[in-house]
Amino acid sequence: MNPAFQEALAARMLWVDVVVLEQIEGSAAQVEAALQAAYDAVHELASKDVLTYRHYGPRAPLLLQDVPELADQYNLAHELYSELFYENYHNGSLGALSTKWLKPSKPLDLPYTKWLAAVDMNIAELMGIPCSQAAMATNGHSKTLLFCWSNGREPKSTAEDVVDCYEMDQKEERRQYVIDIADTYASIDADLVEGWREECQDLGLID
């Protein structure tokens, strides 16, 4: 089996652990640990793809694309590892590349994946959803989350901001949807009135 595919499959199976564990009452700690393990596996896959595999490239493998959290993290990690690779290529420090940006950072002293798992758990609690669905709020914001971690933002306050932004976006989408529907009906009404006028003119009922 292709080693890159094998690692992608292993990461995807770790996400199955997340989905299964979150159905078990009182397993929050295990769910958080499973989230971190899945994120770690995806980051490791991305680092190896940059360093050795050169198999999937900068876009997440199809195997991960049905899990937005994993796909986003693969894409982010691949981009960052690629930057680190080219920065360190000439100074001989590639040996430390695979763990460089995952290490605990000050002032939180938390590895990125552990922090991210905590954010997901807080989002799930705030929205009343399974943590495996937290991507509905975080999808497309992986760089923003990394920025929050690197600047020492607490997982809880980060999750609160993410949920606030998501809810505002949802309200704006609903508002725009209502406007679009109103415009559509107004256009239909105008076409009907114009058609009625033309028909009446043809019949000589109106000038």
Task: In whole angstroms, give the CA distance from residue 89 to residue 76.
Answer: 20
Domain segments of the chain as ranges? 3-171
pLDDT tens readout for residues 40-86: 999 999 988 988 888 888 899 999 999 999 999 999 999 888 877 77
| pLDDT band at 109; cut points 50, 70, 90 | confident
This prediction has a pTM of 0.74
Please provide residue 110's backbone torsions phi and psi, each rounded to the nearest 5 degrees.
-120, 135
Task: In whole angstroms, give the CA distance from residue 2 to residue 85.
Answer: 23
Which distant-in-sequence residues (6+ apart) come within 8 Å of 88 by Cβ?
94, 97
Q: Return the pLDDT at 17.
A: 93
pLDDT tens readout for residues 158-176: 999 999 888 887 777 776 6
pLDDT tens readout for residues 7-27: 999 999 999 999 999 999 888
66 vs 197, higher pLDDT: 66
